[in-house]
A and B are shown apart, each in its own frame.
Chain A
Amino acid sequence: MSLRKQTPSDFLKQIIGRPVVVKLNSGVDYRGVLACLDGYMNIAIEQTEEYVNGQLKNKYGDAFLRGNNDEYVNKQAHKIKNR
Chain B
Amino acid sequence: RHGLDEIVLQPTTNTVEEPLDLIRLSLDERIYVKMRNDRELRGRLHAYDQHLNMILGDVEETVTTVEIDEETYEELYKSTKRNIPMLFVRGDGVVLVAPPLRVG
Q: What is A's interface to B at a CB cutoff of 8 Å?
A: 8-9, 12-13, 24, 26, 30, 35-40, 42-44, 48, 55-66, 68-69
Closest 5 CB pairs of A and B: A39-B9, A58-B104, A38-B18, A44-B19, A42-B19
Interface of chain B, helix or strand or loop or mixed? Answer: loop
The SS class assigned to the A binding surface is strand
Contacts of B11 in A (CB 8 A): 38-40
Which residues of B from 41 to 98 have beta carbons under 8 Å from A? 50, 52, 91-92, 94-98
Q: A36-B16, A48-B98, A69-B95 are in contact. Are A64 and B23 (CB under 8 A)?
A: yes
Q: Could you count the A-B residue pairs with CB atoms below 8 Å apart for me: how many are there? A: 81
Tell whether A65 pairs with B95 under 8 Å between CB atoms, given A36-B19, A39-B9, A42-B18: yes
Bitwise interface map of B from 31 to 45 toward A, beta carbon under 8 Å scored 1, else 0:
000001000000000
Residues of chain B touching chain A, judged by Cβ–Cβ distance below 8 Å, are 6-11, 15-20, 22-23, 36, 50, 52, 91-92, 94-99, 101-104
